[in-house]
Amino acid sequence: MEGRASDVITPSAAAFLAAMHRAFEGERQAVLQARAERRREFDAGQMPDFSPETQDIRDADWRVAPVPADLLDRRIEIAGPPEATTIVEGINSGARVFVADLEDALSPSWANLIAGQANLIDLWAGRLEAVNRRGSKHAPRPDGAAVMLRPRGWRLPEAHVHVDGGPIAAALFDLGLYLFHNAGRIRAAGKTVAVYLPKVEDAREARLWNDVLAFAEHKLDLTKGSVKATVLIETLPAAFQMDEILHAMRERAVALNCGRFDLIFSFVKCLGKHARFVTPDRASMVMGSNFLAACSYLLVKTCHRRGALALGGKIADLPVAGNRAANRDALNRIKADKQRAALEGFDGVWVSRPDLARVAQEVFHGLVPEQNQLGVTHADVEIIREDMLSMHPGRRTESGLRGNIRVVLRYLSAWLEGQGAVTLHHMLEDAGTAEIARVQLWQWVYHRASLSDGRKITPELFGEILQDEAGKLRADLGEEAFRSGRFAESAKLLSDMTLAQDVPDFLTLSAYDLLAA
């Protein structure tokens, strides 16, 4: 598929990417520096809060531009990498939106990126086909799910493409190629050009995205404001700036999405040096309570007040083949999660597989028979800073410690081998869940947190268990598979990141040099 690079990066597409880079690389670097400064302030003890400088935006009566008709019903959304089969099955799944996810669901090897963009070009050119498990070809249904692109976030470079001696931002590479090749065809088909924007931290970053999209509209002769955006609220700073983010993109914002996994990750990354925020086992950090509940209610209230949709995330549970009782329990957890989201006022939820779209649809459509719940205002709900910083109670166990180590080892190995997600113990582990596991390990070691049996999680204990888990993998897989799976590299990277004095920003950023080598 790398042979299609010439179809994807044409001379005119390359010129468009270069123009985007020259227009926005300076501001991108500035927002990355602002992120680093914010982290230093959090480490020093300054807590996130609602800014008094933007109180007027939060208090004023304004609304985003009307949501396009084809994006008003987003009750079920499915996300996956832009592989041909995944795209076709996602569009045909019964979900209302398919998210082609280059951020968390794709390992960004050059081959994967080129193949993904080529598949999306084929989709909008009307020639994409996939072969199902029975060997027959099938194509996307014209009345299937709307398609949105989720590019990579601002932090990542794209090492394979340089402009003026430096790498282009991965965000601009992903977004620029998609819009350049497909925006005209999408509009000609009478559909909305739509994107999902990840890892936004504040209104300044939202304005940067808005400026990029306005630039693309101008260069590609698209109507101003016609490219619509959903912003993922998956960082703790962004959770305190929902109004401001919508306001910065009010001509094109159609929704916010509460990204639970990355929100937990960001919470630990931002506040991890403070002992009162030491986390329990990941399994204890559930939606519907503490800071995750506060963020959910605030997001629904904010979005609906401003005329935008409020979308919920997914859980990691997957069906369990061959075990009826375990499968029933897993499906019940998935259904309960979708029920909670509907009752909290969300307009839609995410799933990760086509079979789960049907499960979620049964629950969510039963509770939300209309296109959305924009009428749910939560006018009586008041969320304050303390609610947004409320940590879940719970224990830390050796099982949780080992589980985190296994998740990161397995995920990193898969990611370095070109796979963006891995199934482990009937849970779908992607970059978001792996990041939680990784920052929890760092936090527990940093604070020498106590396990439920009284032992301290010291560097030595972490090292012993890491070595033991790596040894189990070697025994289970065999020496050759262990070596070819790059588990030794993964274990070293995990050790280095866990024992660092400051928590490294992103797992995928630290691992990217190994992938791109």
pLDDT at 260: 85
Q: What is the pLDDT of residues 487-500, one digit of tens each?
A: 999 999 999 999 99
Q: How far apart are CA 483 and CA 479, in angstroms?
A: 6
Q: Which of 460, 467, 464 is nearest to 445 (CA)?
A: 460
Report the pLDDT value the prediction gives residue 2, as an integer from 0 to 100.
54
List of the chain residues with pLDDT < 70: 1-2, 517
Q: What's the DSSP call for residue 348?
A: B
Give the three-state DSSP class for 253.
Answer: strand
Q: Are 76 and 360 a contacting pair, CB within 8 Å?
A: yes
Q: Residue 52, class by beta-carbon neighbours within 10 Å (0-12 exposed, 13-18 middle, 19+ buried)? A: exposed
Of the listed 150, 152, 155, 486, which one is catalytic? 150
In 3-state terms, what secondary structure has residue 498? helix
Q: How far apart are CA 23 and CA 18, in angstroms?
A: 9
Nearest to 139 by CA among 121, 123, 115: 123
Q: Dig out the tokens for 376 from the structure.
A: 């749910």
260 catalytic, yes or no? no
Q: In angstroms, rounded to a whole number, what is the distance separating the alpha carbons of residues 149 and 421?
A: 18
Token pair recorded at residue 212? 């990029």
For strand 309-311 and strand 253-258, is the pairing parallel, antiparallel, or unpaired?
parallel
Q: Would residue 430 show up in a list of annotated catalytic residues for this protein? A: yes
- Which residue from 233, 286, 511 is spatially nearest to 393, judged by alpha carbons? 286
Cβ-contact 211, 26 below 8 angstroms: no
**Backbone angles phi and psi of 178, in degrees to 5:** -65, -50
Residue of 75, 243, 430, 486 marked active site: 430
Which two tokens mark 340?
A: 């909670």
**Which class for 421: exposed (0-12), middle (13-18), buried (19 or more C-beta within 10 A)?**
buried
Alpha-carbon torsion angle 453, 455, 461, 466, nearest 10:
20
The answer to whether residues 152 and 171 touch, using CB atoms and an 8 Å cutoff, is yes
Domains and CATH numbers, the chain: 2-388 (3.20.20.360), 398-516 (1.20.1220.12)
Q: Which residues contact 449 (CB under 8 A, 6 or more apart)?
A: 278, 396, 443, 456, 457
Q: Distance (Å, rounded) from C-alpha 149 to C-alpha 151?
A: 6
pLDDT per position as a tens digit, 440-452: 999 999 999 999 9
Bridge partners for 256 per DSSP: 231, 310
Question: Given this model, what pLDDT does residue 11 score?
Answer: 97
β-pair partners for 242: none
Structure tokens at 319: 């069906």
Q: Cα separations (Å) of 390 from 121, 135, 174, 294?
A: 45, 51, 36, 9
